Structure 1
Amino acid sequence: MDDIIQYIDKEYNDCTNVSINYSKAKRTKEKITKLKSVGIPDYKKSLDDLKIISKKSPESIIDDTESDMKELRKKIKETEDALNKLKTYGDEIGLKLSSLSINKINSDIEEIKLNNPNFKNYYSIGGIDLWKEIESIKIGINSKNESLLRNISQVEIYQDKLNELLKKEPHKYQENYDNGEIQKLAELVKNLSLSLKSYGDYLTDMRKKNKPESKRTVSHDGNPKVTWEISPYENYCKMISRYFALKIKQFNFTSDVFNPKYVNIVTEEIILDNGKSIKFDDISTGQGISLYLQTLVNRSATDSRKIIALFDEVSTMDKRSLDPILEILRKLNESGKLMLAIFVKMDEIYEVYNLE
């Protein structure tokens, strides 16, 4: 681009000099033309002038003649000066033209085109538009230079911070970072975060009783075969149902004791270990509350938290419903996990006390 600008500046200056010389030559030509027009004989005018002169005194004629001669010599001097300048300008123009080689100019242009692919676009632009384009490019270059300086300054700041960090003792988890353990942990946390978001959506669907749908696939390789692909939501519901069943372990229903395998809150049924199912609606209110309370107080052996259990309004629960809960509380008490358990039940006779 610098070569283009230098070449254009050179051509512009040359063209400017030629334009100035042309203007001077034009003015000189006009003066010569004017002198020629003055020299054209006008016999009638000359005759009139002679009549006027004949009436003048000799002294007056001499004075007028001398005045005319001075004016004529002055014009001749101006013409000679103009011709000399014109000759000088012509010589300069000739030198300029002789120093220019059309082949050299074309060769330079082709070389510039070859080294600058965008030159062809700029070469087709002329006059003021080209200068506007050049100014625009200059502004762009200045902007990029400023951006470069800012980036260099920022890099220097980062380099200073890096040097400070290198002077410090290695971080206590540096080894874990070097062997990739921290990166693996970060990836695990990221995946867990995405899973927790999905689980939140699954819980919302479970509360709405939205049933999971399996994807049905039919294979036509030889014998047609239908397979079902379990969706993540369906698998989540299955795991939650299994979790609830493990929390209950056993429950009384009618006159028997059953072992639940799944407690599906979406389909509202309990799947037993023998493959049979019991609908929630078939379970009495007391039995339902008993199952719910069992899931709350039943803790794993590794859970060391202390428990204070307050059971409000157990009047709907009979002995068969309460016994499983009491059995769980006994085990918690024996392991030292139960601090207090209170069962609240409305008596048939009650009194109201005014606390004021």
Structure 2
Amino acid sequence: MAQNIKKVIIVGKTGNGKSSLGNSLLGMKLFKEGGGFNASSLSCQVEKKGQFEIVDTPGFFDTNQNRNVARQAEVILDSLKLCPEPHAFLIVIKYSRFTAEEVSVLDVLAITFGEQYIDHAIVVVTHVDNDVTDADFRDACRESHQVNELLKRCGRRVVRIDNKNPNREHITTLLKYIDQVSKDGKSCFNNDYLRCHDEVLRRSAQDLNKYDGMLVHEQVEQIATEIKTMVNEEITRAKKESEERAKREQEEREERAKREKEKREKKRKKMEEKEERDKEEKKQQKEKENKERNWNIALGLLGAGIVVGKLFLSR
């Protein structure tokens, strides 16, 4: 990770202080504060400064806007185009504004990014005055069923922030959590099936009347089912392709082995034939040598007989 850059995506409900949190981390006001999921902030914004690369996203569940969850999730998903492979997701909730929709954000993020995001999620509670003691803050969190559920699902990773006057100690705690979920920058968020999420969300967002009258959790359940179906189909297709590829590779290995065996067999036969020819040539050569030797012996004996005959006659 070049220069230990921390890549962060900030998400949460409208009005919870996402932009001010981003500005607090950057140390200057680069994000416009006070916006919502409306025409002026209907897109993600990325800013880079120092050790941070931060994406501020439009807020969820703006009551004055279209509550088509797929449409909102599709916009949030664009954050990955601005900041690929982020190290952390900061889920922003507002102190003393704990509602059931806070937990719903987790489900919306699951259909947006996939369940894998939760391993990189950190809850940031904003608008907590520095005068509030840590004990009072913990008690407030424990007393809220919604917050308890949120923290449980996020591994109890929670940080408090006073947006107007951020405490350096709280910022340091947040940085430690970012290093923890990213394993000091070595682990980034990744989902091999993001294409499925993108396709389902885009298709659902285009059907403006599809979710008329449906509650948020009902929309999320329907979208999650569609995504799960598509992911399973993708897994099945990938498995089939893998099995077919493995089968082809096995057949190719067997064919290569067969050719190699035939090649070795052909080579062996050639060697045997050569050995047989060499053996036959040696045999013929030996027979020839024997004939020549016998012939020479015969000639020698004949010559000796002639000499003996001449000697006998000369007497």
- Greater RCO (CA < 8 Å, at least 6 residues apart): 2
Same fold (TM over 0.5): no
Query: TM-score scaled to structure 1, two decimals?
Result: 0.16
Say which structure is richer in helix.
1
Q: Which has the larger radius of gyration?
A: 1
Query: TM-score scaled to structure 2, two decimals?
Result: 0.18
